[in-house]
């Protein structure tokens, strides 16, 4: 079983690329896009922002100190399909679906601690839009369509290191580079003109993203039942460099400091309560944005419980439930946007020795809503995470 | 379980549906699309009309005319191949066998008309005659029986020389699209010797004022088989040549644009794309003038021609297909190689009335791809400049005896260049 899981993990690691994250929301079209969280399915099922959970974890972008508590070399790969129904003023406005791979990570023991390598998603920017336009040709009005497509997003690739400081405290830091790119293409489609020989007008631009991010955090055991964690992510400006063929200008965005806290407590044998919160003042980006986009500060919280002694098919299968709510930094219109979801999921532990999970898969399902003014998105979001240890 | 989960995620990833924004404000600034018409002096030069492409025999059809449009005379000449020497027939016992002892007793020459392209509305009389002078189908004209390299021989009388009349017949388009001339055995026998270069049929139109187009001319023989003398069988003789001669030959136009005819006419012109546009006001208001065009900003380009009444004798009676192609090496005219068509294999269909009652109609010939190349300029690798010469011609050459006419430079209805230009600010990040 261990070999099977390892083989599947490595295969998917080669096939998948977080930079190819797909668009899954109307809010991808607002500002710099919709933030993506590089957390695993266990955190998703618990409504967590990926910090302060019991046990070790590869969460370099949210809880870098958690890797220090991994006993063996480990790897994690996360896949996340989403199905969305959108409406505006209670009128259906489309449905879409997609899959992204928000986190691929590997941890390996090094110099008494645990080194991590990861790639993760940061911002999803993929969307398209059509705009009907009336043009005047020779005194006669004609209807044409502007078709706009934006492909791409922002990812990170980073190295981290975490280690225990004493028996109860772990610290960690992750240094990463922003990567990714975006292609914006506008095509005026003259198909409705019914004029032979007409060619569409297309103008486009390609930008590559670059920047630096550092996440530092600490996790401490509180008594025999609790754990508290905090982390902060500092980012340099996110630079968008236009290609030589692009007429558009280079841009630079000052990303905000992100602060996270989280904790968990064992209320009873097999029953764990988790809670976390996150805050980032994205409104500082406002002066970097153009085109009437508004940026808002965001705060989020999540709570959940884990029933860790549940068994399924003669194996331990922790059951998780939770709820989370957070703000989105960019909205369509002046209203701020929020995302909330009820969460749940299971863990299937294929191979476990002395309470240490050597191989397993975590599943999470979220039913949630994103809302900004009259625009509402109802979504189902699944998350699948493969975890292996002792590679 | 792990494999199934991985397969689930991978499977969903293959069915991506990208979100469609419902907020037009997130799209980049809309470009401006305007129409610009540039007069001949602003883009065109060196327009010439060239004739002589192809010959009537290339058309594979015939024409007959008698004082059509007041002057046009046309006659169809046809020659047939080797007569069949056997036939499969049933003998008196009912067995089918090949009979090589057939006796040809007569025949019929059948003319098939294009009823749409023919101008007559009522019955007309035609005459069939047997040519008496050696002639060459590839080079025969109204005055010359042979006009090829190294040999030129006129008819003894213009219009096909001496001819033995074999009778007349009447064709009424209301009765069908064909006409038969009955031939006796002696008349048929006159065409049996394929070494005789003078053999051939000439079809004349006796009724004045019309022009008829013949899709085909066929010779059907009637023969009596030796194995069953009570039976008459019909045998087809393969065509060898079908052409026509006409008078007067149209003179090259002193001005204007001509396309079509037999031999075919082409119009060649040079196009110079303005490097900058200084109008119209709507364009200047949107992006400021002067505007230096980029190839992708030319959404549509067309040569705008104004139709002109063609000489009545050669006025089209059916649609004409107009083709436009870049001339790859103008210095090699009139035999310059041409590039790919800019209007598709069917060409631009033009109704015949454009060159008669509806003269003065604007006809747009799209040349967008050609003009985009011209705006792009020389190839960055080969430094080779794109062709700037266009040839206007019929989709097939020759296409028909009639031709299309348009007003040329110097006329108030001179050709124009119509552009639909789309310009806008560059796409920026939000």
Domain boundaries of chain A, sorted by first residue: 2-123+158-175+211-389
Cβ-based neighbours of B200, under 8 Å, separated by 6 or more: B77, B78, B79, B130, B131, B135, B191, B241
Suggest the residue from B12, B16, B18, B19 to mutate for an interface test with chain A (most A CBs closer than 10 A). Answer: B19
- Cβ distance B17 to A205 less than 8 Å, yes or no, reads no
Task: Give the model confidence (pLDDT) of A182-220 as tens digits.
Answer: 999 999 998 777 788 899 999 999 999 999 999 999 999
Q: Which residue of B has its CA nearest to A92?
A: B22
Task: Give the model confidence (pLDDT) of A131-158 as tens digits.
Answer: 888 998 888 899 999 999 999 999 999 9
| Cβ–Cβ < 8 Å for B297, B49 | no
CB atoms within 10 A of CB A347: 25
Interval A43-67 mean pLDDT? 95
Residues of chain A found within 8 Å of residue B322, distances taken between Cβ atoms: none
Interval A310-326 mean pLDDT? 91
B324 inside 8 A of chain A by CB: no
Q: Which residue of B has its CA nearest to A252?
A: B429
- Cβ distance B27 to A129 less than 8 Å, yes or no, reads yes
Task: Give the model confidence (pLDDT) of B1-32 as tens digits.
Answer: 444 444 444 444 445 666 766 666 778 888 88
B2 inside 8 A of chain A by CB: yes
Query: Greatest CA separation found in chain A?
Result: 82
End-to-end alpha-carbon separation of chain B, Å? 43
The interface residues of chain B toward chain A in range 51-110, judged by CB-CB distance below 8 A, are none
Residues of chain B found within 8 Å of residue A79, distances taken between Cβ atoms: 5-6, 9-10, 13
- Cβ distance A184 to B9 less than 8 Å, yes or no, reads no
The interface residues of chain B toward chain A in range 252-311, judged by CB-CB distance below 8 A, are 282, 296-302
ipTM: 0.83
* Separation in Å, CA A32 to CA A38, A241, A245, A325: 17, 14, 22, 20
- Cβ distance B19 to A23 less than 8 Å, yes or no, reads yes
**Residue A15's pLDDT is what?**
39
Residues of chain B found within 8 Å of residue A133, distances taken between Cβ atoms: 30
- Of A155, A118, A148, give the one whose Cα is nearest residue A20: A155
| Residue A357 confidence (pLDDT) above 70 | yes
Task: Look at A67-81, B3-17, B94-108 and tell me which has the smallest mean pLDDT.
Answer: B3-17
Which residue in the set A97, A101, A190 is minimally distant from B15, CB to CB?
Answer: A97
Q: Which residue of B has its CA nearest to A137?
A: B35
| Cβ–Cβ < 8 Å for B372, B271 | no
The whole model's pTM is what? 0.78
Q: List residues bridging with A70 in a β-sheet.
A: none
Class in CATH terms, A2-123+158-175+211-389: mainly beta
**Residue A334's pLDDT is what?**
77
**Residue A366's pLDDT is what?**
97
Residues of chain B found within 8 Å of residue A138, distances taken between Cβ atoms: 35
Q: In angstroms, rounded to a whole number, what is the distance separating the alpha carbons of residues B202 and B94?
A: 41
Residues of chain A found within 8 Å of residue B299, distances taken between Cβ atoms: 188, 190, 198-201
Q: Which strand (E) or helix (H) includes residue B322?
A: strand B320-327
Suggest the residue from A30, A199, A380 to mutate for an interface test with chain B (most B CBs closer than 10 A). Answer: A199
Task: Give the model confidence (pLDDT) of A251-301 as tens digits.
Answer: 999 999 999 999 999 999 999 999 999 999 999 888 888 877 788 999 999
Task: Give the model confidence (pLDDT) of B381-417 as tens digits.
Answer: 888 899 999 999 999 888 899 999 999 999 999 999 9
Residues of chain A found within 8 Å of residue B429, distances taken between Cβ atoms: 182, 184, 205, 207, 240, 248-249, 251
| Residue B366 confidence (pLDDT) above 70 | yes
Q: Which residue of B has its CA nearest to A25?
A: B19
| Residue A20 confidence (pLDDT) above 70 | no
Q: In angstroms, rounded to a whole number, what is the distance separating the alpha carbons of residues B268 and A217?
A: 77
Q: What is the mean pLDDT of chain B?
A: 90
Q: Which strand (E) or helix (H) includes residue B50?
A: strand B44-53
Residues of chain A found within 8 Å of residue B15, distances taken between Cβ atoms: 97
B397 inside 8 A of chain A by CB: no
* Separation in Å, CA B389 to CA A259, B268, B271, B330: 68, 7, 6, 7
| Residue A21 confidence (pLDDT) above 50 | no
Interval B68-79 mean pLDDT? 95
Q: In angstroms, rounded to a whole number, what is the distance separating the alpha carbons of residues A223 and A168?
A: 9
**Residue B16's pLDDT is what?**
63
Confidence of residue B111 (pLDDT cuts 50, 70, 90): very high
Interval B132-159 mean pLDDT? 94
Cβ-based neighbours of A373, under 8 Å, separated by 6 or more: A331, A332, A333, A334, A335
């Amino acid at each position: 079983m261990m070999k099977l899981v390892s083989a599947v993990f490595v295969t998917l690691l080669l096939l998948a690329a977080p930079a190819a994250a797909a668009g899954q929301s109307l809010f991808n079209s607002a500002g710099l896009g919709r933030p993506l969280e590089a957390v695993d399915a266990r955190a998703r099922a618990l409504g967590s922002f990926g910090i302060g959970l019991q046990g070790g974890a590869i969460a370099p972008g949210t809880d870098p100190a958690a890797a220090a508590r991994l006993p063996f070399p480990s790897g994690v790969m996360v896949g996340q399909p989403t199905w969305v129904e959108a409406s505006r003023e209670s009128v259906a406005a489309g449905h879409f679906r997609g899959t992204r791979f928000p986190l691929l990570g590997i941890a390996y023991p090094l110099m008494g601690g645990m080194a991590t390598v990861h790639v993760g998603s940061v911002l999803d920017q993929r969307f398209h839009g059509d705009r009907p336009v009336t043009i005047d040709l020779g005194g006669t009005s004609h209807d044409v369509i502007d078709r706009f497509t934006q492909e791409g997003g922002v990812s990170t690739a980073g190295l981290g290191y975490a280690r225990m400081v004493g028996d109860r405290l772990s610290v960690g830091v992750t240094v990463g580079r922003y990567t990714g790119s975006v292609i914006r293409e506008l095509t005026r489609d003259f198909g409705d003109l019914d004029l032979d020989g007409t060619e569409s007008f297309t103008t486009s631009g390609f930008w590559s993203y670059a920047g630096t991010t550092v996440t530092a955090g600490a996790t401490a055991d509180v008594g025999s039942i609790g754990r508290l964690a905090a982390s902060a992510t500092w980012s340099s400006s996110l630079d968008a460099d236009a290609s030589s063929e692009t007429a558009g200008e280079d841009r630079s965005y000052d990303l905000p400091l992100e602060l996270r806290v989280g904790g968990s407590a064992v209320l009873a044998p097999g029953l764990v309560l988790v809670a976390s919160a996150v805050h980032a003042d994205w409104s500082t980006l406002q002066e970097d944005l153009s085109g009437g986009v508004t940026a808002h500060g965001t705060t989020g919280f999540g709570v959940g419980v884990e029933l860790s002694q549940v068994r399924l098919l003669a194996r331990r299968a922790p059951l998780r439930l939770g709820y989370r709510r957070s703000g989105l930094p960019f909205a369509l219109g002046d209203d701020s946007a929020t995302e909330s979801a009820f969460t749940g999921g299971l863990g299937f532990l294929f191979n476990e020795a002395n309470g240490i999970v050597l191989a397993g898969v975590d599943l999470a399902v979220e039913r949630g809503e994103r809302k900004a003014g009259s625009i509402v998105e109802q979504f189902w979001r699944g998350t699948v995470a493969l975890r292996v240890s002792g590679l | 379980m792990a494999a199934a989960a991985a397969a689930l995620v991978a499977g969903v990833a293959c069915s991506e549906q990208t979100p469609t924004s419902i907020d037009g404000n997130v799209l980049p600034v809309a470009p401006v699309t305007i129409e610009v018409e540039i007069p001949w002096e602003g883009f065109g030069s060196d327009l010439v009309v060239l004739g002589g492409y192809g010959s009537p025999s290339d058309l594979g059809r015939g024409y007959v005319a008698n004082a059509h449009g007041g002057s046009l005379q046309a006659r169809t000449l046809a020659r047939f191949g080797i007569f069949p020497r056997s036939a499969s027939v049933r003998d008196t016992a009912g067995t089918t066998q090949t009979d090589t002892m057939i006796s040809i007793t007569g025949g019929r020459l059948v003319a098939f008309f294009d009823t749409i392209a023919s101008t007559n509305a009522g019955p007309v009389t035609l005459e069939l005659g047997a040519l008496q002078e050696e002639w060459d189908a590839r080079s025969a004209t109204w005055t010359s029986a042979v006009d090829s390299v190294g040999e030129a021989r006129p008819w003894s009388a213009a219009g096909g020389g001496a001819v033995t009349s074999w009778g007349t017949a009447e064709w009424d388009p209301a009765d069908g699209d064909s006409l038969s001339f009955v031939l006796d055995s002696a008349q048929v026998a006159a065409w049996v010797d394929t070494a005789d270069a003078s053999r051939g049929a000439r079809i004349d139109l006796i009724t004045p004022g019309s022009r008829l187009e013949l899709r085909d001319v066929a010779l059907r023989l009637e023969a009596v088989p030796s194995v069953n003398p009570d039976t008459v069988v019909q045998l087809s003789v393969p065509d060898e040549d079908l052409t026509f001669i006409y008078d007067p030959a149209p003179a090259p136009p002193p001005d204007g644009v001509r396309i079509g005819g037999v031999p075919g006419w082409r119009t060649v012109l040079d196009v110079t794309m303005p490097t900058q546009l200084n109008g119209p006001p709507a364009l200047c208001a949107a992006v400021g003038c002067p505007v230096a065009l980029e190839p992708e900003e030319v959404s549509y380009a067309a040569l705008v021609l104004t139709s002109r009444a063609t000489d009545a004798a050669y006025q089209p009676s059916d649609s004409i297909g107009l083709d436009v192609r870049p001339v790859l090496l103008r210095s090699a005219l009139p035999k310059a190689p041409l590039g790919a068509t800019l209007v598709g294999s069917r060409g631009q269909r033009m109704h015949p009335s454009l060159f008669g009652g509806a003269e003065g109609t604007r006809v747009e010939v799209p040349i967008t791809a050609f003009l985009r190349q011209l705006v792009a300029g020389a190839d960055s690798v080969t430094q080779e400049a794109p062709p700037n010469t266009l040839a206007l011609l019929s989709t097939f050459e020759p296409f028909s005896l009639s031709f299309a006419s348009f007003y040329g430079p110097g006329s108030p209805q001179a050709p124009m260049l119509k552009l639909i230009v789309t310009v806008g600010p560059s796409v920026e990040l939000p």
